[in-house]
Structure 1
Amino acid sequence: MSELIQLDALGPNGAYRASNRRTVTDVTGAPVAELSLVPQLFVQRGMAALRKAPAMPADERAAALERAGHAFATATIGGLSVEDYQHMVSRVSGIPISVVRAATTAIARSAAEVCRAAQNARPDGAVNDWRDPLTRQGHAIWTRRGDVLAVHAPGNEPEVHTLWLEALALGYKVAVRPSQREPFTPHRLISALREAGFGADQVVLLPTDHSVADEIVRAADLAMVYGGESVMKKYRNDVTVLPQGPGRSKILLSGDGGGDGDWRSHVNTIVDSVSDYGGMACVNTTAVFVEGDPTPVAEAIAERLSELPSLPPEDARAVLPVQPLDSAKTMEKYLLDHAGDATARLGGDGVVDDLGDGSAVMRPAVFQVERSDAPQTGIELGFPCVWVAPWSQADGVVPLKNTLVLTAITCDEALIDRLVNEPTISNVYIGDHPTYWMRPGIPHDSYLADFLMRSKAVIRD
């Protein structure tokens, strides 16, 4: 494409092309698009319009979401076919195109099922509407905590945009601030939602620079904000903000091997958990804890990961992420500087594979540490990088805390009880299940509706 793609803001009065535009580049540094960045006044007016807009009726929302998901995965939107869209996302983010294609399907499926899936979070003792006959005797109803949700979206993986669709399904108006790294997915999804029947005052795309970003959060009733440790610290005590930080997903390989006693039968699951999604997602495994000698496990993981090819992200065979060369070298330096006394099983000499065009493949890294409480096990990077540590029953649950997904390959029911009851472990997969397993209607980091909704009592004549 010789001309730069224009990614306009999508405000309450339609598309808006700002004078302040950020150039979006691909992994080689070549310009591919311009993203309009809106000023604070535009944000304020857009958020005010969302607040004034009535919610769509529930049946209309469900039908529109399903239409939007179908269009997102099949139609030409904003001048881009689905193939053009997938190519652009792969080129600007460095995500393997196979991952982008799978995410496209997942977004369409989620949009079709989200209204039904959202109901999984509703308490059994509550109804959806005060008009329900049960409220004549007094009953709980499930209702929103607010009307407007703000989303500061990430750019590491398109499938994260399935989450805020649940807010639309529940009647919220939604404002999305896209990542400047990968704005194509939210732009396409919001365009599809509008074409499917959602009003321009129901869902908006508000690209901004950092100086204006906080205004979107302040003007909303609730917000979902993605980022690293600084974001988690900033919003930790704000009950109106749901921070989404590093996943630090883990695998525990117990001495019983999940019943078969042989860790080798689980290597495929471990390797896939580390490398699926290009190793860029919060559900990718970043640490493996082994009861017994971790050395053969680390060596087996390293051997398998070393076989993955280095290819440009748009190649259908690509499985590893690609970054601009300078960014790749910065990430490599961070890894090697923080590896400390860990033993490198793969990647000790570096993880950057220069493709010769200004971009580089991030090769996998496997490091073995000596203690279950080694600080390196908390390091999460945007490529397949895993720390292998010893673990014993005496270590208990402590090294496994602060985890989005923990796959526990064990038959020890007492241990499983402790893991399931540990508040800082969001999801526990028991047995040979990869940490990236997800399904619509199953909690990701709790149900989003746990944050968006509440129950209140209603009795009427």
Structure 2
Amino acid sequence: MPAPTPTSAAATSAPAASPASPALLQLDALGPQGPFRARRRTIVTDVAGTPVAELSLVPSLFVDRTVKALHRARPLPADERIAAVARAAELFATADLAGQSAAEYEHTVSRVGGVPLSVVRATTANIRARLTRVYDSLTQARPGGTAEDWRSPLTRTGRAVWVRRAETFAVLAAGNHPGTHSLWPEALALGYRVAVRPSRREPFTPYRLVAALRAAGFGADHIAYLPTDHAEADTLLRAADRSLVYGGEDVVRKYGGDPRILLQGPGRTKILITADTDWRAHLDTITASVAAHGGTGCVNTTAVLVEGDPAPLADALAGRLAALPALPPEDDAAVLPVQPAAAARAVEAHLFAQAAGSHAHLGGDGVAADLGDGSAALRPAVHRLERSDAPQAGVELPFPCVWVAPWNRSDGIAPLRGSLVVTALTADHDLLDDLIAEPTIGNVHAGDHPTYWMGPGLPHDGYLAEFLMRSKTVVRD
């Protein structure tokens, strides 16, 4: 197979998946030699099926050669890396990049990914804030007894030094929410060279972020954008030293045994309300936990467990969620996710199948709201279960869908295991001890804090740096 070449007349004249159009955004791969327009390309459409962009799909040889180039590259000095990430944050949020202004980018992400425009705008601000403070995040992740660099005077008498476990890092990105891209640039700040494989569902955020990082000072052999098919994605994971992979249960089953891969799977986030707490005082927080950000995130609430009768809470929650409007995603008032109509109906059918045997308080007659242009908003659903360990309590769907179930002291914390976040509305400190000690619970919010709350510098599912770095003793003359 001939070596891939950067974008050129020869490359662009090769057969494509569909005819190229000057009206379409061209999302070229970004390799170590610059942009590359592959012979194989695919059309990215918006939620109504209208073509928006043409995405290059690179072959395995291009992937392998790119990762080898990243491995050969020397990282920038630490101070330069931190400064470059901060510059990239500003460019990402404000500059014209890859042929789009920030406002045009946000509209495109909303229209293609179906995420409400207000959520995309808020996420742009959050990515900017998080990357601007990347040094603070890494400092909080670094063990307190370690030095940042072996040149520290502390190493003269012996000191642990925080060092990379490897050199290259691959990301198989998610497409459900642009906010997932606020995490992986930390790897660049730590000196890794990074290759990002975007989701075809929403390839625009990583493209813009990689362009911003390159414009801010990272070389083309430090950060790459590699759209691929599934087979080439496996090539990327084999070639990179360490990887971050987003996905559902199928991804967890496929890669769960590989210690070089950090998985970001389903969140199965929950709220627990014990009898000593009046849920009525917290209904705003419960509702927001289910529906904020379009209900698409792993930190949105999947299940609410109630000590006592869950029916009144389910009724009240259904009343709040039923008021949310079904609108096109680019509407300023939109709050619900939108998908192509066929995909939305498939989600609806899956919900019906999963909900068998439960009591529907909302969504029992359907959740796909046709918007008249080939797309459909996904309206909220509230179903009540008979017991806290019902299998539906772990079913996570890409819209505001919540399962409400009774919980008893005899159930203990077993129904809460495997949750990314648990918000516990309780005065029981022994119960909080158990929740915080449970290894399979990622985060615990004690009191009136929504499940999607994340503070600056705090870990989402552990610190990424825990996976990428280690402490090494250094003593020197």
State the TM bucket, normalised to the shorter chain: over 0.9
Q: Residues 405 and 426 of structure 1 are in contact (CA less than 8 Å); yes or no, is this contact kept in structure 2?
A: yes
TM superposition shift of 1:98: 0.5
Q: Which residue of 2 aligns with 1:323?
A: 339
Q: Does 1:90 align with 2:106?
A: no
Q: Does 1:36 align with 2:60?
A: no
Q: Which residue of 2 aligns with 1:271?
A: 287
Q: Which residue of 1 aligns with 2:129?
A: 109
Q: Which residue of 1 aligns with 2:309?
A: 293
TM superposition shift of 1:25: 0.2
TM superposition shift of 1:434: 0.3
> How is 1:417-428 mapped onto 2 (pairs within 5 angstroms)?
417-428=433-444
> How is 1:25-424 mapped onto 2 (pairs within 5 angstroms)?
25-257=45-277, 262-424=278-440
Q: Distance in 1 between matches of 2:188 and 2:275?
A: 45
TM-score where L is the length of structure 1: 0.98
For residue 249 of structure 1, what is the amino acid of its counterpart? T
CA deviations 1:61-93 (Å, max 9, x no partner) are 111111111011111101101111000000111
Q: Does 1:22 align with 2:38?
A: no
Q: Distance in 2 between matches of 1:233 and 1:136?
A: 46
Q: Residues 37 and 208 of structure 1 are in contact (CA less than 8 Å); yes or no, is this contact kept in structure 2?
A: yes
Q: Which residue of 2 aligns with 1:451?
A: 467
TM-score where L is the length of structure 2: 0.95
TM superposition shift of 1:116: 2.0
Q: Residues 38 and 208 of structure 1 are in contact (CA less than 8 Å); yes or no, is this contact kept in structure 2?
A: yes
Indicate the RMSD between aligned Cα atoms, in angstroms. Answer: 0.9
For residue 269 of structure 1, what is the amino acid of its counterpart? T
TM superposition shift of 1:120: 0.7
TM superposition shift of 1:440: 2.7
CA deviations 1:154-196 (Å, max 9, x no partner) are 0000010011011111111110000011000000000001011
Find the residue that maps to 1:428 and give its secondary structure: strand
Q: Distance in 2 between matches of 1:2 and 1:194?
A: 25
For residue 205 of structure 2, what is the amino acid of its counterpart? T
Q: Which residue of 1 aligns with 2:450?
A: 434
TM superposition shift of 1:2: 7.1
Q: Distance in 1 between matches of 2:251 and 2:339?
A: 23
Q: Distance in 2 between matches of 1:213 and 1:235?
A: 12
Q: Residues 115 and 170 of structure 1 are in contact (CA less than 8 Å); yes or no, is this contact kept in structure 2?
A: no
Q: Distance in 1 between matches of 2:394 and 2:189?
A: 35
Q: Distance in 1 between matches of 2:133 and 2:89?
A: 10
Q: Distance in 2 between matches of 1:101 and 1:132?
A: 41
For residue 293 of structure 2, what is the amino acid of its counterpart? Y
Q: Residues 150 and 223 of structure 1 are in contact (CA less than 8 Å); yes or no, is this contact kept in structure 2?
A: yes
Q: Distance in 2 between matches of 1:284 and 1:91?
A: 22
Q: Distance in 2 between matches of 1:115 and 1:18?
A: 36
Q: Which residue of 1 aligns with 2:18?
A: none
TM superposition shift of 1:439: 2.3
Find the residue that maps to 2:133 and give its secondary structure: helix
Q: Distance in 1 between matches of 2:80 and 2:104?
A: 30
For residue 443 of structure 1, what is the amino acid of its counterpart? P
For residue 426 of structure 1, what is the amino acid of its counterpart? G
Q: Distance in 1 between matches of 2:28 and 2:179?
A: 22
Find the residue that maps to 2:411 and give its secondary structure: coil
For residue 78 of structure 2, what is the amino acid of its counterpart? A
Q: Distance in 2 between matches of 1:337 and 1:290?
A: 24
Where structure 1 has 5 or more consecutive residues not aligned to the other structure, the ranges are none
Where structure 2 has 5 or more consecutive residues not aligned to the other structure, the ranges are 1-20
Q: Residues 4 and 33 of structure 1 are in contact (CA less than 8 Å); yes or no, is this contact kept in structure 2?
A: yes
CA deviations 1:7-53 (Å, max 9, x no partner) are 11110111111111110000001100000111111111110110000
Q: Distance in 2 between matches of 1:354 and 1:360?
A: 4
Q: Distance in 1 between matches of 2:275 and 2:446?
A: 14
CA deviations 1:244-293 (Å, max 9, x no partner) are 10000000011111xxxx21011100100000110100000000000111
After TM superposition, the structure 1 stretch with the greater mean CA deviation from structure 2, 111-120 or 50-59, is 111-120
Q: Distance in 1 between matches of 2:455 and 2:82?
A: 18
Find the residue that maps to 1:129 and give its secondary structure: coil
CA deviations 1:345-396 (Å, max 9, x no partner) are 0000010100111000100000000101111001000000000000011110
Q: Which residue of 1 aligns with 2:11?
A: none
Q: Distance in 1 between matches of 2:82 and 2:142?
A: 17
Q: Distance in 2 between matches of 1:182 and 1:222?
A: 23
For residue 273 of structure 1, what is the amino acid of its counterpart? S
Q: Which residue of 1 aligns with 2:7?
A: none
For residue 376 of structure 1, what is the amino acid of its counterpart? Q
Q: Distance in 2 between matches of 1:130 and 1:354?
A: 60
